């Protein structure tokens, strides 16, 4: 690949990362807050207490502000598959497009239909139907997430498809294999449960702000109790689904797991690094230490990866250069077979054009033997198969550390709430308010692990990011990057300002 292409790839990556990270500011709050609103309204319908209705409508207003801006960033994100990643869209459109189409037609249809009733139907429909509409918005929002995560899960673990050598495209063979991929299932359960946790932190944090300001204290206490219960349950579920997701990564994306723990040399009874400072100068195969400082827990990574504390966990060096003793074929060997696959594919297409059926059949047979390593044929060096280790390691550990603190925060809220002294715990209310920011940090870090940890692949093992981009000038992508940066920053500041104004008004309006 030439310098021009590399520059274009870098800007396309940066633009997609920018859009995805801004979009993910809005999405988890939508997913989690929709269910909290449904809980609040269910209590209102059951008790008939107008205070719960007032409370529901207040949080519903904040939900609506966030929902609208989230849609805008999501549309731009999907358009980038056509503008910046047209080669990717051409090669996998048959597969990747199906869940996105279902998300747009089915799940979004449910959201849009019942969203209007939820917001504008308070005096126009019965309590029961309005509550049903609120629950359908929550279900529809999370159904949208299902299909987006199915598409992403397929990129991480491509199954249910076959490569068509005549069109040079990946084509779907089994829809249900794609939809029910274990990676997609684990991504959905972990992503949505973490969204529930973040939304709970948001409600607890804003309610704590009311307590600090000595305003709307009854509403704040009620909101905090419901959100803390929901958040604590979500926290436990996040831990469970996170463990399952990590096990899935170990089985299907061992390179990502090695990067998450900065493990260069595979070993039995592999430890987890509880704390560590990565040596950013370390490269696969060199003699530099992986860490400047580290604190390990022996055997825990082996237990996490294989459910056996004595098992062997491959390191980055094993996966890059291979390990004959462990029957691990590394990227170095797979590059050889990948280049054979590319050469035979080119020979097959040439023979087909010339009408040489015997030559075409011979080339196709050789291609089929090596096609599983097709993507490795595009790599220039084995080390390219390793992701940015420091970014993956720190993101993973930030996510885990914060994830262990949040359930403790929810328990403290519930403890003082049931003691009846919640409004007097200024230190706790300050911690709750600032935990909103920490929740977003943990949420973003999770996606950094998921996406940076699978580099250099657009489709794991089959299509490198460098071959997935549109062949356009880097300056075009660079220009739109700064346009989007300005636009998204403006939208984010607008949302914060509108929300702060609504919070200042409070639930009385």
Task: Please write the tens of the pLDDT for every residue from 70-129.
Answer: 877 888 887 888 888 888 888 888 888 888 888 777 677 777 788 888 988 888 899 999
Query: What value does the mean pLDDT take over residues 225-247?
Result: 94
Structure tokens at 5: 């292409």
Pairing type for strands 291-297 and 272-278 reads: antiparallel
pLDDT at residue 331, rounded to an integer = 92
From the list 79, 155, 77, the residue with the least C-alpha distance to 457 is 155
**169 three-state secondary structure:** strand
Tell me how far apart the alpha carbons of residues 135 and 34 are, in angstroms, rounded to a whole number.
8
- Which one-letter DSSP state was computed for residue 269? T
Q: Looking at residue 255, what is its pLDDT?
A: 95
What is the pLDDT averaged over residues 41-64? 92
Count of Cβ atoms closer than 10 Å to residue 34 Cβ: 28
Estimate the crossing angle of helix 217-252 against helix 3-47, to 10 degrees: 140
Task: Tell me how far apart the alpha carbons of residues 353 and 188 are, in angstroms, rounded to a whole number.
Answer: 44
Q: Going along 54-153, which residue ranges are E strands?
A: none
Residue of 30, 62, 188 lying closest to 509 (CA atoms): 62
Of 29-38, 471-480, 488-497, highest mean pLDDT:
29-38
d(CA 95, CA 152): 11
Q: Which residue has the higher pLDDT, 200 or 89?
A: 200
The chain-wide mean pLDDT, for the chain, equals: 90
Q: Which residues pair with 464 in a beta bridge?
A: 457
- Whether the CB-CB separation of 378 and 464 falls below 8 Å is answered with yes
Predicted confidence at residue 65, as pLDDT, reads 87
pLDDT at 323: 92
Would you state the structure tokens that stand for residue 278, as one six-digit string?
């990565």
Residue 36 contacts residue 199 (beta carbons within 8 Å): yes
Mean pLDDT check: name the lowest of 149-158, 443-452, 499-508: 499-508
d(CA 450, CA 258): 13
Q: Is the dihedral of CA 29, 30, 36, 41 positive or negative?
A: positive
Q: What percent of the chain has pLDDT over 70?
A: 98
Q: What is residue 12's DSSP assignment? A: H
Over the stretch 384-400, which tens digit does the pLDDT of each residue have? 999 999 999 999 999 99
Is residue 435's pLDDT more than 70?
yes
2 has pLDDT over 50: no
CA distance 78 to 95: 15
The Cα–Cα gap between 135 and 118 comes to 9
Rounded distance between C-alpha atoms, residue 203 and residue 196, angstroms: 11
For residue 509, the model assigns a pLDDT of: 57
Least confident of 106-110, 367-371, 424-428: 106-110
In 3-state terms, what secondary structure has residue 377?
helix
Whether the Cβ atoms of residue 442 and residue 374 lie closer than 8 Å to each other = no
- How many angstroms separate the CA atoms of 106 and 109, rounded? 5
Listed range (41-55, 95-109, 149-163) with the worst mean pLDDT = 95-109
* 190 has a pLDDT exceeding 90: yes
- What secondary structure does DSSP assign to 273-336, as a single string? EEEEEE-TT--TTS-S-SEEEEEEETTHHHHHHHS-TTSEE--HHHHHH-BGGGTBPPHHHHHH
Please write the tens of the pLDDT for every residue from 289-331: 999 999 999 999 999 999 999 999 999 999 999 999 999 999 9
| The pLDDT value given to residue 6 | 53
Q: Provide the percentage of residues in the chain whose pLDDT is more than 90.
A: 61
């Amino acid at each position: 690949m030439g310098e021009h292409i590399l520059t274009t790839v870098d800007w396309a990556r940066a633009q997609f990362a920018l859009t995805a990270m801004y979009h993910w500011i809005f999405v988890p709050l939508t997913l989690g807050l929709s269910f909290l609103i449904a809980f609040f309204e269910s209590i209102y319908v059951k008790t008939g207490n107008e205070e719960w209705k007032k409370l529901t409508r207040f949080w519903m207003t904040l939900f609506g502000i966030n929902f609208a801006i989230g849609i805008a960033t999501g549309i731009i994100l999907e358009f980038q598959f056509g503008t910046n990643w047209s080669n990717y869209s051409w090669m996998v459109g048959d597969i990747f497009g199906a869940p996105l189409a279902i998300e747009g037609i089915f799940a979004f249809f449910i959201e849009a239909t019942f969203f209007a009733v939820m917001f504008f139907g308070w005096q126009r429909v019965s309590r029961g139907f309005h509550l049903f509409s609120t629950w359908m918005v929550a279900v529809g929002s999370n159904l949208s997430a299902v299909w987006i995560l199915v598409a992403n899960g397929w990129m991480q673990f491509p199954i249910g498809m076959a490569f068509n050598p005549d069109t040079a495209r990946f084509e779907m063979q089994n829809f249900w294999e794609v939809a029910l991929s274990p990676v997609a299932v684990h991504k959905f359960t972990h992503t949505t449960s973490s969204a529930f946790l973040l939304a709970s932190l948001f409600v607890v944090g804003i309610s704590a702000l009311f307590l600090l300001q000595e305003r709307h204290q009854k509403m704040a206490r009620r909101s905090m109790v419901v959100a803390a219960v929901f958040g604590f349950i979500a926290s436990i579920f996040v831990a469970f689904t996170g463990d399952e997701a990590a096990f899935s990564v170990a089985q299907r994306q061992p390179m990502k797991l090695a990067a998450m723990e900065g493990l260069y040399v595979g070993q039995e009874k592999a430890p987890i690094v509880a704390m560590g400072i990565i040596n950013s100068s370390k490269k696969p195969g060199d003699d530099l230490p992986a860490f400047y400082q580290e604190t390990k827990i022996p055997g825990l990574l082996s237990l996490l990866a294989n459910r056996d504390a004595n098992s062997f966990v491959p390191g980055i060096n094993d996966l890059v250069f291979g390990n004959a003793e462990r029957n691990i074929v590394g990227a170095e060997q797979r590059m050889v077979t990948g280049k054979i696959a590319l050469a035979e594919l080119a020979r097959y297409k040439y023979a087909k054009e010339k009408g040489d059926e015997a030559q075409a059949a011979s080339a196709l047979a050789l291609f089929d033997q090596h096609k599983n390593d097709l993507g490795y044929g595009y790599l220039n060096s084995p080390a390219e198969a390793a992701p940015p280790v420091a970014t993956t390691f720190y993101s993973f550990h930030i996510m885990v550390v914060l994830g262990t603190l949040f359930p403790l925060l929810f328990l403290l809220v519930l403890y003082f709430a049931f003691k009846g002294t919640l409004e007097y715990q200024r230190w706790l209310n300050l911690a709750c308010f600032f935990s909103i920011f920490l929740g977003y940090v943990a949420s973003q870090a999770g996606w950094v692990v998921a996406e940076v940890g699978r580099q250099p692949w657009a489709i794991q093992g089959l299509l490198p990011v460098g071959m997935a981009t549109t062949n356009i000038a880097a300056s075009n992508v660079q220009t739109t990057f700064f346009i989007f940066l300005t636009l998204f920053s403006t939208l984010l500041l607008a949302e914060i300002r509108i929300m702060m104004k609504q919070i200042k008004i409070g639930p009385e309006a």
